[in-house]
Structure formats: C-alpha cells, structure tokens
Structure 1
C-alpha cells in the first residue's frame, strides 16, 4: 500500500529549555491526556510541522518552539523541521542523505510537498483568480480531525484554505479520484492559456482603437515646417556637390602628376640596376692594366649609383603614400557626392515637402500598427491551438460513468459507517455533498456524522486516489457529551475499520476499555508536555542541523 508512516516527533522549547519526544508504531497509537496536559498541542504539532497551519495557542508560540517530524515513505526516511515559518526538509535513502533543503515560506514548501508525494492540486485564488498549486493543508485535510473546529464543521480543521475558490469541491474531487491530478494539472494549464489569450485580445483591441483614432485625426495634424530652411538646405547641397567636383578634379590632376613622377623614378631605378649588370659583363680581363682601370671606374660609378638609388627609392615610397591618400580622398568624395545626389533625387516633383513627410509618417505608423496586430494574432492562434488540445484531453477526465461509480462506492462506505455508529442511513449523496451529509445533526449525532463522512472519504481515497495515504490523526473522538457506549463503539470502529486504511493516531481524554494493549502515551502533568530532562538530547537532534541550514539560507 502507498502509505506515509509517522515514525517520531520531537518538540523543543528554546525559551524554556524543555523538550519532548515520542516514537510512533506503524499501526494504532493512542495519546491520553486531560485538559492542559499538552495532548492537543502534541497532536497539532504533527501536521503543523508538515506545513498545515492550525490554530495554535499563543502561549505555545511564545516558547520559541521547534518541531521535528520523522516519517517513512516507500524506501525513504524524510525529516521535517519547523520553526515559525521556516522549514528544513531532509531526505535519506538507504541510510544516505539524498537531499537537504530549507524554506522560508510556506509557498516554497508547497513545491517540495509536490515533489515528495506527487501532490499537484491547482486551485484559483479568490483575490485575483490566479491558479496556483494549493498549499499542503489541502492535501492533509481528509486525514485530520481537530478538536477545535473539525468536530463542529467538517473539513474546517486547517487554516488558510478559504483563500481559494471552491476549494472543498475541487479538493474532494481530486482526492477521491473523480477528477484525478492529471485533470487539475491540465485544467491549470488551460486557465493559464485562457488568461494569456484574454490579455493578448485586450492588447489587440487597444491597438485597433489607437489605430482608428490615428486615422481619424491624422489629417488634422499640422507640421510646423520652415520651407525656406529646406530650400536653403537644397542650395547648400548643390554647392557642396559643385565644390566636391572641383576638389575631385584637382585631386585627379595631382594624382596624374604623381603617377608620372612615380613612373620616372621607377625607370631610373630600373636603369641603375641594369647598368650594374652590363658593366660587370663588359670588362675585358685579358689586359690587366686596362682591366684594373675599368674596374676602378666601374666601382666608383657604382657608389654614386647606389647612393642615387637609395634616394630614388625613398622618393618613390613617398609618392606611393601620396597616391594612396589621394585615392582615399577621391573615394570619400565620390561617396559623399553620391549621397547628396541621392538625397536630392528623393524629392518628388509632384509632392511638397509637407506632403512627403505626411505620407511617410502615415505609412510608417500604419505599418507599425499592422505589424503589432499581426504578431498578436499569431500568438493568439498558437495559444488557441494549445488550448484546443488541452480541452480534448480534459474531456477524457469528465467521465460521468466513473463519477457515478466513485460516488456509489463512497455512499456504500458512508452507509457502512452510519450503521456501525447508529446513524440514519443516507440513501443519496456523493463525495462533494459534505455539508448536507454532516450539518443539521443534533447533539452527539453531529460528530458521529462527521466521523462517518471522513471514514467514507478515506475509504474512497484508498480505492481510487493515486496519492500516498497519510496517517489518520483524530483529536478526542468523544465530543458533545458522547456517552461511554457510543464512544466505545466509535473507538472500536477505528480499531476494526479505520486502521485498515492507514496508520492511526488518536487523542483521548482518558483510556477507554478497548484501547488497552495498543501503543500509547499517557500525559498526566499539567502544563508540562515538555520536560527539562529531555532538552539536551532533543536539542542535539534538532538545533545543529537547523542552524547550519539557516546560516546557509542567509
């Protein structure tokens, strides 16, 4: 069976330096204690530690309470530590730490509950209709009956659930399997898509209205244009073109002169290099004296030539640099001239400057409007396609036959409880009819009717839900002067039937006859659930780990 089992609870008061610890059995557990012995505080601390907010006494809050709850689920041991709004969750698997996280808000813990147990019920907030993952109490409520509110108003044991729209109906359908978790996941996605589509449609409508106003009043828009200013600008551009052409002719002439000088220098360098080769080849080596004289003249001439060659190379290099500069200037002037001519050619003979500006502004604005509308239409169409696919998937979960089967099973379990608890048999009713099935009952019938409803709901969850079954925690079944005989019958019902569903933890004012032999603790000291002698051991169990994670958070 897919069950969560509570293993141990440890409670620590930092202000009073007192503590308490208790180990649970996997079956039935009884916590006995008269008023003011801390029985209810102990029982409340269980689901409170898991993020289910309950009505906690102010005196309990002032003691700087830290609670640790150890539970087993599948092959993992999970520790929850809570101090005020802070939570530390540690997961061990096969004796090895798998993860350790700290959360400073209940909303952050919600995602961890979803990851650990697969709980992903989505509910809509009343204030803004935003759909979010429901807080942990919407997972715990079928498994807990609190003595403050749970016995007088069914499903009212936890705080913080009234902020959701129709949370009871949606949560009951979710838990019972009428609308499984896949349905609510898809439904949440559907609502998000519908909201996005609505926002885009509103944006498109605003753009369309703006476009209409623009078209209506554009013709009345006057442009304050100084025509003489633009005419002077045109004259200036024409003069600039003429000056650029003159400068271009001068640069071209200078370039021609430089090219001519460069060619002369190149020829001189070429002649010097060739003369050196010719001189070497024409020497007659037969006449030593003649040879020596010629060689002397050649060498002397070489020195002069080499000196001249170096200066020629230097001059040629300078000419090349000047040519490169002129080429760059010519290119720059050509580009500028083309740009100015293009600007002048854009002025159409049949339009005034104002008309051109009007026309271009209108076309630009109209194009911008159409582009925005087109982009929004594409987004809406894409989202609408996604929504249509989700609609088809959601319809597969709106199974009337399945709903009827589940409700019939629920009613049969309710009738079973009603017989055992000596209540009138209900002939019609379903999971979501919690008010009609539990209100209007007088005296001791009211708590028995509420208990019968919880039992039928738990049996339905066990059969049809895919969620893990949590421990069933009941605080003081003896309510509203329930006599001893009926109390014993109710307890026996827990022993025989409720224990089949899950681990059971029951709080009672005193031990009843049929509680004997079961795992239990008897609280007898007034105002002293926590004891100073347990402080050191529980402190070492909780505080070092919590402080280490708290420092990591900050």
Structure 2
C-alpha cells in the first residue's frame, strides 16, 4: 500500500520585515492566481524548498533575501491511518515535528552532500517509503529528494518543454529514465542492474569491435599481405625464425660498434688536451703572471698552489700513458666488432640470399617482408575476432540467463501499452493531431516531442497526466500533490484556453491534491474600448466554478492586483502559528 502526503497549510514568515504568507489548502484542487511576478510560483517552490529541495534556491532568491522561515503542515496517510506532521526550514536547518510531538532537527542542510542533508534525505525517504536507487559511478545509491517529487512537479521554466527536467541534477545518473519509470510504475528490476548494464555495454562494444575488425580486414593492403603470406608462407617460415635471430644479433653488434666509436672519439679529444697541457707545463713560470697550460691564456695571478694540488692526484705523464693504453684497447675492440659485423652480414647473404631473390606470382621476398607487418596484423585481427565472438556468446548467455530481466522487459511493454492508450486519449481530448512514431508513443523511448508552442505545451500536459494516471494505478509508489505551475501559455487563443481548462478539470487525480497556477490581473476598472487577449480576459473565480470540482479552493497572491506580493500579509495577523513555529525550532 503506497503512502500519500497532503499539504494542509503553508506559512512563510519574515521576522526581519514583519511580513508573511499564510494559507490553508483544500484536499482537492488549489488554484493559485495573481498577476505575473506576483509570487504564484513562489508558493509552489516554497513547498518543495521546505522539504529540503536545494535545486530551486536560485528561483527563490528574492524570497530568500527576506531571511524567511518556511513551514508546511502536512498529513501522511498509509494503510488507512492518517498522521499529522510539521516541517520547518530556516536558513540553515530543518525541523520535523512528528505526530508524537517529538522534534527531529537537521542542521547544515544547504549542501546536498553534507552529512545532515544526507541524514534528512534518509528520514524523508523512510517517511514516505521512497526506495528508488540510482546508479552513480558503478554503484547503486539512494536517489536524491528531487526524484521523489519529479513525477508530480511541472515547473514553469522548463517543465512544459523538456521531460524529467523540472529539476536540473538528475540526468547525470546512469540509466536514470529506465530506473525512474520502473520504480514509479511498479516494474520490478530487482536483478543486479549494475552488472546487467556492464554486460550490455560490453556486448555492444564487442559487437562494434567485431564489425570494425571485419570491415578493416577487407582493405586492399591486408588482402595483398594475406595472399603474399600464403605464397611465401611454407618456405619462409623455415627461415624466418633464425633470420630474425641473426638479424637481431647484427643490429646489436652495430649498436656496439657505434658505441665504441663514440668512446674512442672522446678518448682522442682527451689525449689531445693532455698532450697540450703537458707541453705547456714545461714552459710554466711562476712570476705572478702565468699562462694556462691548456689554452695559454694569460692569468694575472700565480697558479703554483693550484697545480701543486692537482699534481698530487694526477701525474700528467702517468695519465698520458693510461689514456694511450685505453686508445689502443678501444681500437682493438672496434676492429673486432667491424670484423664480426662483416661476418654476420656475409652469413645472412649466404644463407638467406636464395629466399630474397625468390619471386612468387610477381611478389618478391622483400615485398613479403614489407607486408609482413600487415600479414601479422591481419592474423591478429582474425584471432581477436574469434576471441571477441567467444566472449560475446558468453555475455549473451549471461544476459539470457537473467530471467528477471526478461520479465522486466515484458512488464515494461505492458506498461507502455497502458500508457499509450491513456496518452492517445489525452491528446484527443486536448484536440491534438495523433503521433504515429513509436519514439513519441512508447513510454521508455520518449525523450521529447516534435512540436512547438501551444501544441508542445498540450502534448507535454497529456504526457504528465497519463504518467500520473499510471502511477496512481500501480499503487506501488508514494503519492504527492500534483504541482502544475503556469498551465497556460501567454500566446494561447480562446479555443485552446477552454480545451486545456476543460481537460485539466476532468483529469485531475482523484487520490491526491493538485496545485494549479493561473495568471490573472484584477483591475479596479477596465475601459470599454481596451483590447484584451484571452489570458487578460480570464476570471479565475469563474474558471474555478466552471471547470473544477466543488471542493477546489482559489488562492489569490497579492489579491490579484500586486506584483512581488508573496510576502504581503502582516506577520502580526498570524501570531499563533508564528509563536508555535518559534517553539518548535527552539530545541
């Protein structure tokens, strides 16, 4: 049995300005009216904000500048039992008064990832029995509070254009649409969703890789390499391993030869400098004007002390003899290495020359060697294709073994059939042309609609009412008031005005409240010759009586005359609830 919340009254007070908003609500339809920018949306947003929804802060920025305290008194009905709660939000804290009178505080809730906001989320989830899990970074985590209100809130800004975007922070969850719809429609998806998504992704990637490898392997250079490899393969494979080994030893010896030559060059330069130094030392004088023994530059100070220190460690004659020996050794090593390079090169020419001169169907061994990389790559691609196909079969088998997934897909199809029936009926009532493409009719495929203006507005309306109807019938998810902000577009004509109002009045959910905002500017008098568009001619009191149920309530913001008038009631007129609110938060 699902849990239903009903909002009984809203109290928003600013002690700093001595102003407030206070109103009690009908359990049925609540029609919120007033001038444009009067604060109709502020009423709906205040209800959400009080429950800890931080996503809408920016839209409430003007009200929040008054440093207000928000209070919603609400009833929770579950299994036929009704309990009354109060939830109060100040600048930094939320307090929930339970039916027993106990007050549960949460301090520091302005950031969604704060410890207190996470604790608040768990409390509210438990309160309404909200158990939706969403995938984030490969893990299933409790869904944010915004997703608890999402199917019941259509925002004025984007809600009548984009689906599931009345809140801005939900599309970052992987597989959000499917998990969200499954939960609210009562479709069981108790199998390991993370594993299933990983397997599905791997399956799709493998299929793409196999197709790409097959397509790439058909290129001309790979086909030529394959044919050349087949022509030379039998004879070449007998030589290729030893050929690769001896070729490697040749390359190694060449690197060794180059290294020895570099060392010899360094020794020779060292030897030249040493010879010059030795020669100049003999000519060295110690008369306060010396010359450098290496470059003969005149130095304006004596070097006696410096050379005395140097000659203690290195005797020039001994160093010359040592370098001479190294030069002789290096020349010998270079000669030996050169002979070895010549020997290996001759061996390659002698043992493999016959193969290099061979030609098969006009393809030489050199050409085969040049294409050997392509041939190896081609064989690697074929091996990868086989490996990928084997893995793909295992993954498909694993997915097929997930019987629960098959049942889930069947249930989704059934829900889509039911949704399509209601959605098509709604579009007909709204006098819309029928949609024929499955992308716009199958619930789990729908992301947007190919319409604009009033047509799009009515199509989105038909969608949300159909979804709400299905959620009510599923009886598995919590039920919250249906919050419809700005149901009429400014460019609407008389015909569409009547069609929309008639549709909403007939299709409001019977098991929950509804909050509907409609603009009306009440003027003291109107000139007889003043041209008014359909919206300007609206009398919401008449609309309420004509289109909405008897228990509907009309709530005017700023008496329908004032702009920015949400907090326009004197706080002194509501001292009883104000004092009670102060007492609750004084814990």
TM-score for the superposition, normalised by structure 2: 0.52
Matched, 1:476 2:489: no
Q: Specify which of 115, 118, 128 is matched with residue 129 of structure 2.
A: 118
Which residue is 1:7 aligned to? Answer: 8
Instruction: Check the 8 A contact 1:477/1:487 in 2, yes or no.
Output: no
Distance in 2, Cα, partners of 1:5 & 1:531: 23
Which residue is 2:105 aligned to? Answer: 102
Which residue is 1:60 aligned to? Answer: 63
Distance in 2, Cα, partners of 1:35 & 1:153: 22
Match runs of 1:82-101 below 5 Å: 82-92=89-99, 97=100, 99-101=102-104
Question: What's the CA shift for 1:165?
Answer: 2.4
Matched, 1:420 2:429: yes
User: Please, which runs of 5 or more residues in structure 1 have no aligned partner?
Assistant: 189-390
Summarize the Cα distance change of 1:510–1:185 in structure 2 as closer, same or farther, 3 Å threshold.
Answer: farther
* Cα deviation 1:32-53 (Å, max 9, x = unaligned): 1111211111121112222233
Q: Specify which of 432, 442, 453 is matched with residue 430 of structure 1.
A: 442
Which residue is 2:314 aligned to? Answer: none
Question: What's the CA shift for 1:186?
Answer: 11
Instruction: Check the 8 A contact 1:439/1:446 in 2, yes or no.
Output: yes
SS in 2 for 1:521: strand
Summarize the Cα distance change of 1:14–1:44 in structure 2 as closer, same or farther, 3 Å threshold.
Answer: same
Summarize the Cα distance change of 1:181–1:27 in structure 2 as closer, same or farther, 3 Å threshold.
Answer: farther
Summarize the Cα distance change of 1:488–1:129 in structure 2 as closer, same or farther, 3 Å threshold.
Answer: same
Which residue is 1:70 aligned to? Answer: 73
Structure that is richer in helix per residue: 1
Cα RMSD of the aligned pairs, angstroms, is: 3.7
TM-score for the superposition, normalised by structure 1: 0.55
Which residue is 1:36 aligned to? Answer: 37
Question: What's the CA shift for 1:109?
Answer: 1.7
SS in 2 for 1:499: coil
Summarize the Cα distance change of 1:85–1:421 in structure 2 as closer, same or farther, 3 Å threshold.
Answer: farther
User: Please, which runs of 5 or more residues in structure 2 have no aligned partner?
Assistant: 110-117, 198-399, 518-539
Q: Which has the larger radius of gyration?
A: 1
Match runs of 1:390-405 below 5 Å: 395=404, 398-405=407-414
Match runs of 1:270-281 below 5 Å: none
Distance in 1, Cα, partners of 2:566 & 2:510: 32
Which residue is 1:236 aligned to? Answer: none
Question: What's the CA shift for 1:471?
Answer: 0.6
Summarize the Cα distance change of 1:393–1:503 in structure 2 as closer, same or farther, 3 Å threshold.
Answer: farther
Instruction: Check the 8 A contact 1:31/1:39 in 2, yes or no.
Output: yes
Instruction: Check the 8 A contact 1:119/1:139 in 2, yes or no.
Output: yes
The number of equivalent residue pairs is: 342
Match runs of 1:252-401 below 5 Å: 395=404, 398-401=407-410
Summarize the Cα distance change of 1:516–1:129 in structure 2 as closer, same or farther, 3 Å threshold.
Answer: closer
Which residue is 1:536 aligned to? Answer: 572
Instruction: Check the 8 A contact 1:88/1:101 in 2, yes or no.
Output: yes
* Cα deviation 1:295-339 (Å, max 9, x = unaligned): xxxxxxxxxxxxxxxxxxxxxxxxxxxxxxxxxxxxxxxxxxxxx
Question: What's the CA shift for 1:90?
Answer: 1.8
Of the structure 1 ranges 52-61 and 167-176, higher mean CA displacement relative to structure 2 is found in: 52-61
* Cα deviation 1:488-547 (Å, max 9, x = unaligned): 222222221223352111008995773577533353642453456541355653xxx999
* Cα deviation 1:267-317 (Å, max 9, x = unaligned): xxxxxxxxxxxxxxxxxxxxxxxxxxxxxxxxxxxxxxxxxxxxxxxxxxx
Summarize the Cα distance change of 1:430–1:105 in structure 2 as closer, same or farther, 3 Å threshold.
Answer: farther
* Cα deviation 1:415-462 (Å, max 9, x = unaligned): 111110112223563322331xx4321221111111111111111111
